[in-house]
Structure formats: C-alpha cells, structure tokens
Amino acid sequence: MLNIVTNRFLHLVFILLGLILWGTPALADNQKNSVIEKIKIEGNSYFSDGKIKDQMSLKENRWYNLFKKRRLSLKKAELDQASINFLYHTHGFLGAECEINAEERKKNSCLVKVKIKEGIQTKLGKIILKGGLPEFEEKARKRLKSLKEGEPFNWNKLDEVAFDIKTIYANNGHPYADVQILVSEGEVRFTSDVTFEVDEDKKVFFGKVTYQGLKLTKQNMASRELTIKEGEIYSRERIMDSQQRVYSTGLFSYISLKAKDVEQKPDKPDFVLRVIERKPTYISIRTELAQNQQEYLTLDFTGEWGNRNLFGTSRKIGISAYYGFKIVQDIERLSNRFTLRYVEPWFLGTRTLLDLDVYYEPGVKSSVQKYRIESYGGNINFSREYTRYTKVWLTHSYQQVNIYSIPPEELETYKEEKGINIRRKIILSGEKDTRSNIFIPLDGSFTQLYTEYVGGFMGGDNNFFKMGFSWSRYNNLSRRKTLNVLATRVKFGYAVGLTRADRIPTFDRFYMGGASTMRGYKENNMGPTDEGGDPAGGKVMIVGNLEYRRALFWKFGYTIFVDVGNLWEEIRHVNTKNFKLTSGLGIQFFTPVGPLRLDYGRQIPIKESPQTGRFHLSILYAF
C-alpha cells in the first residue's frame, strides 16, 4: 500500500512545477509567428474538443480577423499546455500528459496539434478524519462533506479542505495546528482513500501590540479599533477583523498586523501594527456643464476643503461651497449652498459614528426667480456596526424655508406650484448583509428594515409614517463557487398619515413596475392613478420575486424569473385577487461594475388583464 504524506505548500509547488515545467511545446523558429489555420485535438475521450479549446489562449484564425490575425506564440503554447494539464489533473487524471506542436501548412500558416495522454482516472474512496480535539470535530466533519465518495480525485480541493480545517483551529487558539493528507489505495479499483490527520498543537494567546508609522495620529485611534486583546485566546478571524477596522477609518493608505517570531511558535505572540498615514487635509474642486430642459446651459461649481484627521483624533471636518449659474448671453447665478460637516467616529466613547452636517442656501432673486427662497437645515446621523454583517442607522433631518418678497396670500399657492415642502423627519433603519459578493451574489442573504417618521411634533408641511422591509436569499445550487443560484426576495412597504386629514405627498409614496420590481410593466406604472390617468403611487406595496441565475458562456449569464405583487391606496384594499403576475427570461453581460442585463417580462393574464410583454435594460440584478 502506498502512503503519500503532503501538505498545502508542497501540493502547490508540485502542481506549479508539473504544469509549467512539463516539457516545452515543440515549435520551430520559423513557426513561432505563423497564422493558426486549425487546432486539432488528439487522444481525448473524457473532455470534448470544445472543452479543451476553451482552456487555450491559442485560437484558430477566422475570416473576420482581418487586421489582427491569430498567430502562434511560444508563451501562449506553454500556458495552454499547463492549462490543459491542470484541467485533467483536477478531474482525477493524475498522470495525464499534454504536448503541443505545430505543422507548417502554407506559407506563414500552420496546424496546431494538441496530443493528450489521458491515463487512468482516479476517484475518491473513503474520507477519514483522524486526531484533533473533540470540540472541533463537528465543524471539521461538516467541511469534509464537500468531498463526495466517487467524485474525481482533486489535490486542489483536498488542500482547500485541509486549509479550512486548519482555519477552524486557528480561529480557536491553535494557529500552529497542522493537517496532513494521507492518500492510500482504496478497496475499489482506481480509487484512493483520503485521511485528514489533525495535530492541534498547543493553545496560544494574544500578546502585546506595538505600533509603527503613527506620526500624525494618536495611538489610541488605532488601538481602539483592534479586536485582539492581550491574554485572550488567539483567533485568525479577529486579526483580519482588526485590520479591516483600522483600514476603514480612512486614515491610512496601508496597514499590516503581523505576529513576531512566528518561526519560534511562541505561546503568547506579540504583534506589530504597521501603517502608512494619509495626508489629513484635502482640497477638491468640481465643475459640471449641462443642458437644461429650458434650452440653456447650466454651470455648476463646487469647492471643498477638509481634514480627515483633526488634531490626530480621527475626527473629520469639511466645508464646501456650491454655486449654480445659468449661461445664455450673460452668466446669471441661479443658486448657491454652503455646507459644514463634522464626523465623530467614536461618539461618547463607543464605536458609534456621529455624522453631522448643516447647510445654508441664501437664495437669489433674479429675472428667472421672482422671489428669494432662503433655506437652511441639517442632518444628524448615528450609525453602529454591531457585527461584520449588521449595521443600524438613526437619522434626524431638519429643514426651514423662508420666502421673501411675496404677498402672504400667495405663499401657499407658490409653495405648491414650486413643490416646496418643509420636511422634518426621523429615520431608523438597519440591514444585515451576508452576501459574499454584492454585485453577483452566489450565497448568503440581504435584509433591510426602514422606518420614517415625518412631521408630527417636529413640525413641517407633511405628517406621516412610512416603513419598508426587504429580504433576499441566494441559494447556490452548485458545490463550486459558480453562478448557479436560486434567488428569492420578498418586499413590503406601508405608509399612513399621522391623522386622517394628513395626506402623503406623491413623491413619498411607493411605486412599482419595471426592471427592479415587476418586469413586464412600464417603469413605476402600476397601482393607483390620478384623474389624468398618470401613476399616483400607493400606500401599500407587496412584491415577491423568484429568479434562477446561471452562467452561460464567457462573460454572459441568463435568468428565468417570476414576479408577483401590486400597489394599493389603502391597506383595507389589499386582496390576493388583485395580485399581478409576470414571468420571463433575461441575459446578462458581466462588467467590472456588475451585470448589464436585458430582461423580457410578460404579464400573465389573470381574469380580464391583458397579456403583454416588455423589454427592460438595466445594470445590476433586480435584487
């Protein structure tokens, strides 16, 4: 019986050497820049020609490659040889070999031959866990479940499992734990039994932390962000959390938190936090030129000065001025605004961020604007991260508007015409986000709760209460981290006046229909309408979405979805018979800023409702 003992580092070295150094593609000097007429795959039976060609950077020249022909390259051939070997080795063909050579065809063109010796495919036999501590056995066995008896043998996957088991121990006081992988012949032919042998080593505690690079910043501004404390049980996760928290202060361009003398395996390792500080003061100037709907140009100018590390205390202050101009024959000022902002990251000695801003708009009186409208106000916002995934906000907004040079009897009419509303409100909101990727979620969930109290004892022109709730869940149907996801969402909204006489402004109501809620309907075109037949928004909203997302090829993916929901004027009007239903298909192109998607949704007729469809072009998934 053959026993092979290895570890993660040796596996990686073995794979890299095997892939990169396994022979050199046989290319003659006169072929190294030849146009590739055809690529021929020989000796493959497990993978199709197309699958193997997908791994290659060498491509056959096509008729449309007029200006940049696809040519032979030694570097690309070496890379392709390594990629094909890697494909086979990670599917159990441990002895697979690949050779790439070229045959001259016509002048300056060649045939690329890929010769493959697949060999025997090895599959996993029994998966065994030995050693370790009883209190961590359940977590370790849960990680072993990702390996299935009978699946292709894959050293990379075994290394990942071993690393994850080591991480379990490293997060619970055993950073020196070692996991060895022992491979032996299985009872079934061409199978290998795998044993993960755990040596937990000694228990370790955090030592002291010293600091390097703090010249402008007080030491306790960094130390208060650390979750590692002297004498507490060692945890790799807390080290990573500490680094993230220190970096999120915005004071440093680089941070590193590392243990001293790791080679000596101390029982109580000391740590060094090294940082590179950012310059505390900054100045920014922004300009924007745009075409107004009234067919004249507008020029916006914004200047800002700030300090992100006031007196080395991590407090922030900023002052900005905004000016807006109208450009016709002359330049005429339209508006201006002055803002002062102050941020206290640790309010009252707790990790609660206080963000305060006040503004003043003196207003202008001109040929365009008959009266001068002065406004001032501010926002005070408290936010707190309770865990890595959970955050809560509490915000109070105050606004005051004064209109000068206007007769008192015209004041209310003028405010209604111009859409001027004095708004004072309190907002309480929170979210929990366990998604691994916010642009393309493969797993986890996202929960949001939002409540808003407007007017009431604070005064203002509007008085109502509004709340919203949304919950999304992403179930990965694949064992690998690939796009094969069943995504679901439920979303509710409710708004009500503080008294029966209080109406809710149109822009504060809920709107539905379109790319992010109910595909198959026009944007924000569902629910109650006004006297002219235009959407008036609703006070009650219910939405449910079910969507299957799958990778297609290259940077494309597709979705199949079902949307259900509606809007109502009052909660007493809600009835399941009024629910609208749509379904459809979508295609996505994945960009660095998220998927660009084109969806086609079709209304499913219920009773007398018509069956119509609509295309929607948008960026990011609907939820």
Following DSSP, what letter does each residue of 156-170 receive, concatenated?
A: HHHHHHHHHHHHHHH
Please give the backbone phi and psi of residue 413, each rounded to the nearest 5 degrees, phi first: -65, -40
Cβ(270)–Cβ(260) under 8 Å? Answer: yes
3-state secondary structure of 144: helix
In sequence order, which residues have a C-beta less than 8 Å from that of residue 240 and are 6 or more positions away? none
For 7-150, list the strands marked E by DSSP: 35-42, 97-104, 109-117, 123-131
3-state helix, strand, coil in the chain (%, to 5): 20, 45, 40
Partnered with residue 4 across adjacent β-strands are 183
Residue 226 structure tokens: 């650390």
Q: Which of 6, 159, 150, 164 is nearest to 92 (CA)?
A: 150
Quickly tell me which residue has 């941070």 as its tokens.
255
CA 26, CA 77: separation in Å to the nearest integer? 9
Question: 85 with 96: CB under 8 angstroms?
Answer: yes
Contacts of residue 295, defined as CB under 8 A and 6 or more positions apart, other chains included, come to none
Q: Does residue 328 contact residue 334 with C-beta atoms inside 8 Å?
A: no
Instruction: Please report which helix (H) or strand (E) contains residue 418, including its range.
Output: helix 411-418
Cα 336 from Cα 321, distance rounded (Å) = 7
- Residue 18: its H or E element: helix 8-21
Enumerate residues 6+ apart whose C-beta is below 8 A from 305. Answer: 281, 282, 283, 318, 319, 320
d(CA 285, CA 524): 36
Q: Which amino acid is at 142?
A: K
Predicted local distance difference test score (pLDDT) of residue 405: 83
Is residue 93 within 8 A of residue 120, CB to CB? The reply is yes
Predicted pLDDT of residue 622: 96
Model pLDDT, residue 21: 46
Ordered domains of the chain (ranges, CATH): 4-117 (3.10.20.310), 123-199 (3.10.20.310), 209-277 (3.10.20.310)
Computed on alpha carbons and rounded to an integer, the radius of gyration of the chain in Å comes to: 32
DSSP 197-238: EEE-----B---EEEES-SSS-HHHHHTT----TTSBP-HHH
Supply φ then ψ for residue 304, to 5 degrees.
Answer: -140, 140
pLDDT of 416:
80
How far is C-alpha 215 from the chain's CA centre? 34
Q: What is the pTM of this model?
A: 0.80
Q: How far is CA 291 from the centre of its chain?
A: 34
| C-alpha count within 13 angstroms, C-beta hemisphere, residue 622 | 36
Question: Residue 60, class by beta-carbon neighbours within 10 Å (0-12 exposed, 13-18 middle, 19+ buried)?
Answer: middle
- pLDDT at residue 294 in the model: 63
Length, in residues, of the chain:
623
User: What strand order describes the sheet that includes 35-42?
Assistant: 35-42, 109-117, 97-104
Distance in angstroms (rounded) separating the CA atoms of residues 573 and 274: 61
| Mean pLDDT in order along the chain per 10 residues (623 residues) | 39 47 57 87 96 94 89 93 96 95 88 96 96 96 94 96 97 97 89 96 97 97 96 97 95 96 95 98 93 77 97 97 86 90 96 98 74 93 94 97 86 81 95 95 97 96 96 90 93 96 92 95 91 91 98 94 96 91 96 95 76 91 96
pLDDT for 67 equals 86
Nearest to 238 by CA among 167, 160, 161, 163: 167
pLDDT score at 379: 98
Helix or strand holding residue 339 (H, E)? strand 331-344
